[in-house]
Amino acid sequence: MTQMVQFLANNSAPFTVNIYPYLSLYLSEDFPVDFAFFDGLAKPLVDGERTYTNVFDANFDTLVSALAAVGHGDLPIVIGEVGWPTDGDKHATNALAKRFYDGLLPRLAANTGTPLRPSQYMEVYLFGLLDEDVKSVAPGAFERHWGVLRFDGQPKFPMDLTGNGQNTMLVPAKGVQYLPRTWCVYNPNAEDKSKLVENVNYACTFADCTALGLGSTCYGMDANGNASYAFNMYFQVQNQKDEACDFQALAVPTQTDPSTAACSFPIQI
């Protein structure tokens, strides 16, 4: 690492780091929730003459300190990724993502900096633009839900990239063409229900069912609701082919939207 940092310094190149306050929260039940945000509700962390009110600043300055320890405390730092997911975990919600960006973006616009590098411009890249429904979920189900836009390019929550605190929505993608308004749901009149679990597992192997997990937007539906969600996700990913809504006679197509107040059953683009 020291040699790599020396190489960057010799070539006037920045050190790029990803900082994810959400992951600090996700990986430890003991992590103070408010310390992941910027709204001053967390108990401050005092480090000598410096005070930290959020983990983003603390992570950044940890890197500054490490660089200084090898003689490169002035090396430029770029934030290659920072963001907050909106589903797949109890702390991955639209509301908390909005809270995070509402704190981060005004700080960037004002060149607030950090205790070790105060009043400085920071080059920061947000992760990410769109949800990714086939991304690996090995780190967690939230991995498919980092987008500030949904899979179809529609904004999830108000977000002011200027950092001026305006409660405005991002501009949605134009001219998006959707498949017909047809969903695939559990068939309550199915005669043989013995293979329901097997068929739900099959659907979720080839489609994204992360919204059904504990703490996620579709968590808490009954078994029929879970089956309907799984069947529909598979049906949509298969471009609504007739044979993709059968599941051994356990599923039927419908033109009635099965979405609930909390759980959206999408129509694929």
What pLDDT digit, counting tens, does each position of 73-132 carry?
A: 999 999 999 999 999 999 999 999 999 999 999 999 999 999 999 999 999 999 999 999
Burial class (CB in 10 A: 0-12, 13-18, 19+), 97: buried
CA distance 218 to 210: 9
CA–CA distance, 187 with 254 (Å, rounded to integer): 10
| 65/8 Cα distance (integer angstroms) | 17
- Each domain of the chain, given as residue ranges in start order, spans 1-149, 183-254
Q: Which pLDDT band, with edges at 50, 70 and 90, does 68 fall under?
A: very high
Is the pLDDT assigned to residue 72 strictly greater than 90?
yes
pTM of the model: 0.95
**Whether residue 167 has pLDDT greater than 90:** no
SS3 content of the chain, % helix, strand, coil (to 5): 30, 10, 55
Average pLDDT score over the chain: 97
Mean pLDDT over 40-56 rounds to 96
Cα three-residue angle 53-60-28, rounded to 5 degrees: 65
Q: What are phi and psi of 113, to 5 degrees?
A: 70, -160
Residue whose entry in the numeric block shows the structure tokens 């967390």 = 42
Spatial neighbors of 131 by CB under 8 A, at least 6 apart, are: 144, 145, 146, 147, 149, 150, 151
pLDDT for the residue numbered 178: 98
Q: What CATH code would you report for 1-149?
A: 3.20.20.80
- C-alpha 104: how far from its chain's center? 15
Neighbours of 47 (CB within 10 A): 14
Query: For a pLDDT cut of 70, what percent of the chain falls above it?
Result: 100
Indicate the DSSP class of residue 118: B
CA-closest candidate to residue 228, choices 269, 267, 187: 187
Q: Where are the beta strands (DSSP E) in the chain?
A: 15-18, 45-47, 50-52, 77-82, 123-126, 183-186, 251-254
Q: Give the whole-angstrom CA distance, residue 51 versus residue 250.
A: 59
Please tell me the distance from the alpha carbon of residue 172 to that of residue 149, in angstroms, as a whole number: 8
What torsion do the CA atoms of 171, 175, 179, 184 make, to the nearest 10 degrees? 10
Asked whether the CA dihedral 92, 95, 101, 104 is positive or negative, the reply is negative
List all residues 6 or more positions away from 80 whose beta carbon is below 8 Å from its beta carbon.
16, 17, 18, 125
3-state secondary structure of 172: coil
Mean pLDDT, residues 182-202:
96
Give residue 165's pLDDT band: very low, low, confident or very high (50, 70, 90). Answer: confident
Between CA 127 and CA 84 the distance in angstroms is 8
